[in-house]
A and B are shown apart, each in its own frame.
Chain A
Amino acid sequence: MTDAPIAFESSPSLSAAVVRRALVRDTARRSLARRRLAGRVATSLCTVALCISLVPLVALIAYIISRGLPALSGGFLVHTPTPEGIPGNGIGNAIVGTLIIVGLAMAMAVPVGLAASLFVVERPGKLSGALRFAANVLTGAPSIAIGVFAYAVFVVNFGYSGLAGSFALTVLMLPIMLRFNEEAMFTVPADLWEAGLALGSPRARVVRSVVLRSALPGIVTGNLLAMARAIGETAPLIFTIFGSQFFVFRPTSPMSAMPLTIYDNATQAYPDAQQTAWGTALVLMVLVIILSVVARVVAAHLNRKTR
């Protein structure tokens, strides 16, 4: 009992006795035909739910494409912005800026998130409970608060920079990654834990060598979902990166990013600006979709390797 593996609730084994009791009660009361009918009604309701889910999706994506596609002409993806009325507008610097800022944020967030979630999973206790609670609370923090925080810590002392933006995004992603990593590790079935423990390994070793490998697809998916969320956030960037009309590669300088471009342009009256905003939104969405698909492919590949 003392070295028992962590008792986790998500062990998918509901007691079959409970299932049996519920079913016997149910079956005794209803006939097969009525049960089948209930099943069909429920399936129809769920199908309705799916259709309702798809309506905003289709409408949103159709709208973004219809307004953004006209912007994707010529060198939109490689030029830098030009003032209103001057042709040759582009978001090349914003794309580069987004990649740099998000790349740096991932480099900071992924290791810290993984290490912290390992701490929470391997050493259950008051401290890890507190960390989990803190992560839950932080996921409810408005992204503007995180931007304010990054401003107070970075910009006040070092000036505007892409790195301050990366820091803000890291703070945004960390709690999400922590929760996802933890949930992923808990879906690993009990047998794998037991097998590792049965071989005499200490708990930490079991987690590191066995559980982490099995949970890796889930962890990868979760981390990439957190990144997808962070890529589209505007508020943390408004206070930290300042923006720029030129190509910038040094993270310690002010730079541009796509959400900032969307925000600045969507709030202007001129048709050029409006089109740029929606074009950027389209590019951003395509980028995130590509990354999500990559996430799934990587996760599936890793899944095949470990199972």
Chain B
Amino acid sequence: MSSLLAPDGFAGADPSSPVRGVREALERRRARAHGHVYAVVRWAGAGIFAAVFVTLLVTLFDQASAALGHMGIAILWTGWNPAKNQYGAGVFIVGTLLTTLVALVVAVPIGIGTAVLLSELAPRWIAAPFTLMVEFLAAVPSIVVGLWGLIVLTPLFATHVEPFLKKVPLLNVLFHGTAYGASVLLAGVVLAVMILPTIVALSRVAMSGVAVADREAGLALGATRWQVVSKAVVPGARRGIRASITLAMGRALGEAIAVALVIGNNTSLPHSLLSPGATLGSAIVNSFSEATPGSLEKSGVVALVVVLLAISVLVNAGGQLLLRARKPGLPPRGPVTESASPIMPTVPGVPDTAGTTT
């Protein structure tokens, strides 16, 4: 089987036989050619992806340039009033951040708790079917979730949930005002429903990828099952859990139709979580189709898309910066000079601790 053997020398070759030499030379040439084709394919893939991304940005910036030039940096804090030629994203940015925050606050604890249960604590005959069921939630199209939110959740929130929240003494600061049903809170909850399967699925996969050796290390030291989970498994899966939260947050930032159906579409600044509001996504979906092509308004809507992508960039960059600030107690990067544990011997040159990729 020549696939695993490097073209540059392999064990057991007899360099003296001429037939073998020719065959080796031919195989080496073919392997190199395959390597070239393979490299081309890789570059092509990366190139296509990069080309698509760049073209997307260029197209969006080109269409948004009229409005961006018109508004300048003030786009970040002014309001949206097309009749007065004002295309500011200020209110929408607030709405986007609020709804995403609510969605994460609701979905992350529930998602990780569910993932922990399904991956570690529950017996197999419970875990398997329930895992499937939670992932089925991802199968529902976003417009259907939005419609369900409008038809079923909105009256529920208006008559029961929101009045209840208004009565809770400490929370009154966050929850006051008329209970319309359609509100920032409801939009956040609907988003939470949509991002939950992502968090559960990816966290679960990450947790089940934690090495058996680490769990056994904990158990051997007399830890309870929960201690093994909280001290060994969850920290060991943190890369995957972080990735799941990043993906979920991306989805929540960009969701448009479902949010537009439940948020109340009010362009004034929300003064409580029970107020109707608007997000960048909902504003885009409301205004794009009917804006006259080539008009300043159309450009303004595409400018909203650019602002949304900018927020996504900032949030992702911020997340990566947080990663770089490493917490104490985490293992060091690079080669390990002394044996770090009695259980797993160190192989020089191979980091056996968690190091970051470039």
Contacts and interface: CB of A to CB of B under 8 A. Distances in A.
B137 A140 contact: no
Contacts of A157: none
Contacts of A200: 5-6, 8-10
A18 to B, nearest CB: 6
Interface range for B: 35 or more
Nearest to A206: B4
A15 B341 contact: yes
Nearest to A139: B250
A242 B288 CA distance: 16
Contact of A225 (B130, B138, B145): B138
Contacts of A18: 329-331
Contact of B352 (A13, A125, A225): A13
B285 A144 contact: yes
Interface string B308-337: 110111011100100000000111010100
Of the candidates B39, B141, B254, B316, the one having the most CB atoms from chain A within 10 angstroms of its own CB is: B141
A9 B46 contact: no
Contacts of A38: 224, 226
A266 B335 contact: no
A16 B46 contact: no
A285 B121 contact: no
Contact of A292 (B110, B135, B218): B135
Interface in A153-194: 153, 171, 174, 176, 178-179, 183, 186-187, 189-190, 194
A86 interface: no
B350 A49 contact: no
B205 interface: yes
Contacts of B60: 145, 148-149
Name A's interface SS: helix
Interface string B200-228: 11100110011101100110011111110
A119 B141 contact: no
Nearest to A16: B341
B48 interface: yes
Given A19-B218, A178-B49, A57 B136 contact: yes
B26 interface: no
Contact of A56 (B118, B137, B257): B137
A83 interface: no
Nearest to B320: A133
B74 interface: no
B99 to A, nearest CB: 13
Contacts of B85: none
A12 interface: yes
B71 interface: no
A1 B316 contact: no
A259 to B, nearest CB: 6
A8 B357 contact: yes
B306 to A, nearest CB: 9
Interface string B20-52: 000000000000000100110111111011101
Nearest to B53: A134
A12 B209 CA distance: 7
Nearest to A46: B117
B165 interface: no
A127 interface: yes
Given A59-B152, A218-B205, A142 B136 contact: no
A142 B60 CA distance: 12
Nearest to A263: B143
A139 B244 CA distance: 12
A176 B251 CA distance: 11
B137 A57 contact: yes
A17 B141 contact: no
Interface stretch (B178-186, B232-240, B265-273): B232-240
B226 A39 contact: yes
Nearest to A6: B357
Contact of B136 (A26, A112, A189, A289): A289
Given A39-B225, A140-B309, 16 more contacts: A6-B357, A12-B210, A20-B217, A20-B221, A23-B218, A27-B222, A63-B152, A134-B50, A140-B311, A141-B254, A144-B281, A218-B205, A235-B257, A259-B141, A262-B143, A284-B144
12 contacts: A6-B357, A12-B214, A26-B227, A35-B226, A57-B134, A60-B140, A126-B358, A137-B313, A140-B250, A141-B254, A141-B309, A201-B4
Interface of A: 1, 4-24, 26-27, 32, 35-36, 38-39, 42-43, 45-50, 52-54, 56-57, 59-61, 63-64, 111-120, 122-129, 131, 133-146, 148-149, 152-153, 171, 174, 176, 178-179, 183, 186-187, 189-190, 194, 196, 199-202, 204-205, 208-210, 218, 225, 228-229, 231-235, 238, 259, 262-263, 266, 281, 284-285, 288-289, 292-293, 296
